[in-house]
A and B are shown apart, each in its own frame.
Chain A
Amino acid sequence: MELNILTLCYIFASVTFILGLKMLSNPLTARRGNLIAAAGMVIAIFGTIFLYEDDGHKLGNYLWIFSGLAIGGIVGTLAAKKVKMTAMPEMVSLFNGMGGACAALISIVEFNHLYHEIETSGNIEGHGGKVLIIMLGLIIGSVSFAGSMVAWGKLNGKVNDIAFKGQNVLNLIFLAIALGAAGYLVLAPMHLIIFYVVLILSLVYGILFVLPIGGADMPVVISLLNSFTGVAAACGGFLYDNKVMLTGGILVGAAGTLLTILMCKAMNRSLLNVLIGSFGGNAAATSTGATQQGAYKEISLSDTAMVMSYANKVMIVPGYGLAVAQAQHVCHELEKILEEKGVEVRYAIHPVAGRMPGHMNVLLAEADVNYEKLMEMEVANDEFKTTDVVLILGANDVVNPAAKNDPASPIYGMPILEVEQSKTVIVNKRSMKPGYAGIENDLFFQPKTSMLFGDAKKVLQNLVTEIKNV
């Protein structure tokens, strides 16, 4: 009877996951969708604690379970409540890593359990399927954990890009050895040491696999690792014949993979290209060497204020620089003050601007910027022709005309915001340093472009004051 109720709980939870993801796809229902999925998760968790039976045995160790839930719940909620909106991508990466580690730990315990079972019974036959699932959960979970931790470190600037010659080959060798050893264990599950070797190799592989990938590609990597963790969770579902873990895990695995591919498409690169890291690592290093010399002109704050105040239409192109400087609120202030002067202000949002797709939307939403003012790339590109001033805030690669004109450029073919169609372009950057792709931007040297150097937040604050005085 109780087991049947648990089955019902699991079915209910699975439905809430699917429904939740579906509702997340509409701005109107998104928040409710998230809460519904959360409610399903709570039911699944408490159903498991109180109703789960294995061969007629109920679960024990309630004290441990509840203290674990309490610690994780409190720390997780506090961390999520306190994190600044600009630091969100690394938070998602961190939580993702926790899930991966959880899956790997389950595999470790289960393998040890199986190992002792075989040792006492002496029967080595017929465990292949189970070991296969355990090894899959271990490898995928560890790679996801180690990779997410590196991605987290990279996003908050603690870890630098490290690339060396032959890294890809080395990575593949690590992965091949790990998979080979795992395959061996599937056939003969009697070697605890080999098991731990696989664990260590997977962790090392996870680290090495993310290390050379540049910051611009981190969203893709996080999304991919997110789907990895989903698959690792599904392995747990296989292991315990637990349908809710299976449903949730595979759902996220499939959805995450599609999201990853969509992101790669937005940057006009193949997933393989991102994974091998040739762009983020080696290629970037070579192309920065060929720095293009050119003359750019600077513009003063008061001139910028003047130009913008007398414009009819201003488009703001936010980028990573805006996020780092936490300038979204000042940006909104600038928008309001310009609108008071009768200037039409819009935001042009590139799908991969910032560090995650939709990152800019979330940031600007935090600053109370009206949804209707945010224009997606295709719409914005039509609008630039009638725009007087484009203000670029810390965006670089997403406005680089080389993506359209220069077939030799590593970003050739990536859809960009065609800001050069407007009358005037003002670029706010901290310096002339190239963006994440490590390539020069011709836009900065064009006659209609002026540079306004400085931290986005300070510049915008001063700009607001200047415009008030115009």
Chain B
Amino acid sequence: MGNILQWISDNQQIIYIVILMVFVGIEVIGRVPSVLHTPLMSGANAIHGVVIIGAIIVMGKAEADNYLALILGFLAVILGTLNVAGGFVVTDRMLEMFKKKKTPPSLPSSPKEV
């Protein structure tokens, strides 16, 4: 019990971030019109590609004789980049098709929301 409490207090910054981000994530998504759900899912998919940062750190820290770390890290960098690059490009392609359309008057046309 004491260990867990200690751990929580050692990592309180991170725990705060997690809690706040959960609310931010929910708030931000809650306003999305259903027509944008697919691009949104795809955009979110690209954003979790941020895991690539971890892959780069693993790769960059691997010693020259640690083949396991080198190979797995290399693979992780490739897969992570696939996620990021593919995700953003697919999302952009989807949204490109929306761009040409005239925006219906019923949708909020002003970027400044009150």
Residues of A within 8 A of B (CB): 13, 17-18, 20-22, 24-31, 33-35, 37-38, 41, 44-45, 48-49, 52, 54, 57-62, 64-65, 67-69, 71-73, 75-77, 79-81, 83, 85, 88-89, 91-92, 94-96, 98-99, 101-103, 105-106, 108-110, 112-113, 128-129, 222-223, 226, 229-230, 232-234, 236-256, 258-259, 263, 349, 351, 356-359, 361-362, 365-366, 368, 370-372, 374, 376
A contact residues around B83 at 8 Å (CB): 76, 95-96, 98-99, 102
How far is A356 from B33 in the complex, measured between Cα atoms in Å?
Answer: 14
Distance from A39 Cβ to chain B, minimum over Cβ atoms (Å): 10
Cα distance, A101 to B54, chains bound together (Å): 12
Contact present for B45 and A92 (CB under 8 Å): yes
Contact with A along B9-39 (1 / 0, CB 8 A): 0110010011001111110111111111111
| Closest B residue by C-beta to A10 | B53
User: Closest CB-CB distance, B52 to chain A, in whole Å?
Assistant: 6
Q: In the complex the two chains form, is B18's CB within 8 Å of A234's CB?
A: yes
Is the CB–CB distance between B44 and A109 below 8 Å? no
Q: Could you tell me the distance between the alpha carbons of A320 and B86 in the complex, rounded to whole angstroms? A: 24
Given contact pairs A99-B51, A254-B26, A246 touches B14 in the complex (Cβ within 8 A): yes
- Determine if B38 and A359 form an interchain contact, defined as CB atoms under 8 angstroms apart: yes
- Extra inter-chain contacts (15) besides given A45-B84, A75-B78, A251-B24, CB under 8 Å: A27-B98, A41-B88, A61-B62, A64-B62, A68-B77, A75-B82, A83-B90, A88-B38, A95-B83, A109-B62, A245-B54, A250-B25, A255-B28, A259-B44, A358-B38
Cross-chain contact of A255 among B11, B18, B29, B72 (Cβ < 8 A): B29
Min C-beta distance of A222 to chain B, whole Å: 7
4 nearest A-B residue pairs (beta carbon): A59-B60, A72-B81, A254-B25, A68-B77
A259 touches B49 (CB 8 A): no
- State in angstroms the CA–CA spacing of A52 and B58 once bound together: 12
Cα distance A241–B14 in the bound complex, in angstroms: 8
CA distance A357 to B93 in the complex (A): 17
- Residues on B with C-beta less than 8 A from A20 are 43, 47
Q: Which of A34, A60, A255, A376 contacts B60 (CB 8 A)?
A: A60
| Residue pair A18, B50 in contact (C-beta under 8 Å) | no
Q: Is B108 at the interface (CB under 8 A from chain A)? A: yes
Query: Hey, which chain B residues are within 8 Å of A33, CB to CB?
Result: 43
Taken together as a complex, chains A and B put the C-alpha atoms of A380 and B5 apart, in Å, by 54
B88: shortest Cβ distance to chain A, in Å?
4
Residue from the list B37, B48, B54, B104 in contact with A356, Cβ < 8 A: B37
Residue of A nearest to B31 (CB): A25
Taking CB atoms, residues of chain A closer than 8 Å to B3 are 128
Report whether B47 and A248 are in contact in the complex, using a CB–CB cutoff of 8 Å: yes
Find B29's partner among A21, A68, A95, A250 (CB 8 Å cutoff).
A21
The answer to whether A92 touches B54, judged by C-beta atoms less than 8 angstroms apart, is no
User: Is B82 touching A76 in the complex (CB atoms < 8 A)?
Assistant: yes
A-B contact pairs, 8 of them (CB 8 A): A24-B36, A25-B33, A68-B81, A92-B87, A106-B51, A242-B53, A246-B18, A258-B30
Known: A21-B29, A372-B104. A246 touches B17 (CB 8 A): yes
Q: How far is the CA of A359 from the CA of B38 in the complex (A)?
A: 6
Please pick, from A72, A101, A254, the residue contacting B22 in the complex, using a CB distance under 8 A: A254
Contact of A253 among B25, B43, B73, B80 (CB under 8 A): B25
Question: Contact between B85 and A358 (Cβ–Cβ < 8 Å)?
Answer: no
In B59-104, the 8 Å CB interface with A consists of 59-62, 64, 68-70, 72-104
* Listed residue (A13, A30, A75) with the most chain B CB atoms within 10 angstroms of its CB: A30
Q: Is the CB of B21 within 8 A of A251?
A: yes
**What's the Cα separation between A62 and B101 when bound, in Å?**
44
Taken together as a complex, chains A and B put the C-alpha atoms of A383 and B79 apart, in Å, by 47
Contact assessment for A236 and B37 in the assembled complex, using a CB-CB cutoff below 8 Å? no
Q: Tell me if B87 and A95 are in contact (CB < 8 A).
A: yes
Select one of B17, B41, B48 contacting A259, CB under 8 A. Answer: B41
Q: With A76-B89, A99-B83, A226-B45 in contact, do A48 and B53 touch (Cβ < 8 Å)?
A: yes
CB within 8 Å for A88 and B90 given contacts A34-B43, A110-B58, A223-B41:
yes
Given known A-B contacts A21-B43, A38-B88, A109 and B58 have beta carbons under 8 A apart:
yes
Residue of A nearest to B75 (CB): A105
B78 (CB) vs chain A CBs: closest residue:
A72
Asked if A230 and B103 sit within 8 Å, CB to CB, the answer is no
CB contacts (< 8 Å) of B73 on chain A: these are: 61, 64, 105, 109
A365 & B98 in contact (Cβ 8 Å cutoff): yes
- Given the complex, which residues of A lie within 8 Å of B41, measured CB to CB? 92, 222-223, 226, 256, 259, 356-357
Q: Is the CB of A112 within 8 A of B68?
A: yes
Given contacts A110-B58, A240-B54, A245-B50, contact A250 B95 (CB under 8 A): no
How far apart are the CA atoms of A68 and B68 in the complex, in Å?
A: 16
User: Contacts A61-B62, A81-B93, A105-B75 hold; do A252 and B44 have CB atoms under 8 A apart?
Assistant: yes
